[in-house]
Amino acid sequence: MKITFIGLGIMGSRMAANLLKNGVDVTVYNRSKEPVNILLEKGAKTAATANEAAKNADIVFSMLSTPEVVDYVFLSEDGVLSAMKKNAIWVDCSTVNPSFSIKSKEAADNFGIRFIDAPVAGTKPQAEHAQLAFFIGAEKSLLEEVEPYLNFMGAKVINIGEAGKGASFKMLVNIMLAQSMIIFSEAVLLGEKMGISKEFLLSVIPNLVVAAPFTKFKADMVREDNYEVQFPLEWMHKDLHLAAVTAYEMNQPLYLANVAKELFAEANKNGMGRLDFAAIHRYLEKK
């Protein structure tokens, strides 16, 4: 099969590289050329435009930053959907709100394109080492056509249900991730104020049963005050905003996640957007 990968940021560039490692025929497209050039050296092909890259593809993967970008690249009048061949498959790995994912499927249907929403769990290390988890919204028979390629990029494929359900589940994961990081940070900062050593707190708290397991990986960032980006704080703020939009659409209160959203908004406003989302600790520490 001919595969196209559109969107080569922190995650997409590494996902595409893992396809290439497994001998897949991959054409890549990205607005900035640096990640394209790196993948060309690994055997990828490229094209001058996203539409050109996608026109002969059997499967098009996208990993883009926001629903607005996906909308512009794929759903606009002359977007990628208009260039794809009939019955090709569009797999959107971007983190978007469920209602947007459903909109994407409807647009794909109108062009005779089959659609899968497939957001991922994991950050830069998991993308690099093909350890991502894919949350799938698609019928089983469609997933079976794409799953071999997902397995080149990840360690787990979980089919949640019809289109939109992958995006729905990813939203739940991310609101828990954001709030858990804040809870961890507040506990450590209070512990320090009570005279417990920071090193003790960072070594012991992540191993307690009440702690989110991922805090083990973030404790070193806090310890060293080095928040080299794995999952940008600005995108966590975006994901919390999408959760708030979805909660409004569902008429479902979202008390604590909205508090988290405002904290991440303030951290983003204070210049931390391009740091890892664990930098919320630095923001709370200085607040």
Instruction: Give one word for 121, left, alpha or beta, with left for phi > 0 and alpha for psi -120 to 50.
Output: beta
- The pairing of beta strand 45-46 with beta strand 25-29: parallel
The DSSP bridge pattern shows strands 132-137 and 120-121 to be antiparallel
How far is residue 171's CA from residue 165's CA, in Å, rounded to a whole number? Answer: 10
How wide is the angle at C-alpha 147 spanned by C-alphas 111 and 70, nearest 5°? 40
Distance between CA 38 and CA 41 in Å, rounded?
5
Q: Please enumerate in sequence order all residues whose Cβ is within 8 A of that of 254, keeping only pairs 6 or more positions apart, or say none.
A: 175, 243, 244, 247
Q: Indicate the pairing of strand 45-46 with strand 59-62.
A: unpaired
Asked if 95 and 66 touch (Cβ cutoff 8 Å), the reply is no
Among candidate residues 55, 103, 165, 170, the one labeled active-site is 170
For residues 117 and 145, give the distance between their C-alpha atoms in angstroms, rounded to a whole number.
14
Radius of gyration of the chain (CA): 20
Q: Any catalytic annotation for residue 238?
A: no
Q: Could you list the active site residues?
A: 170
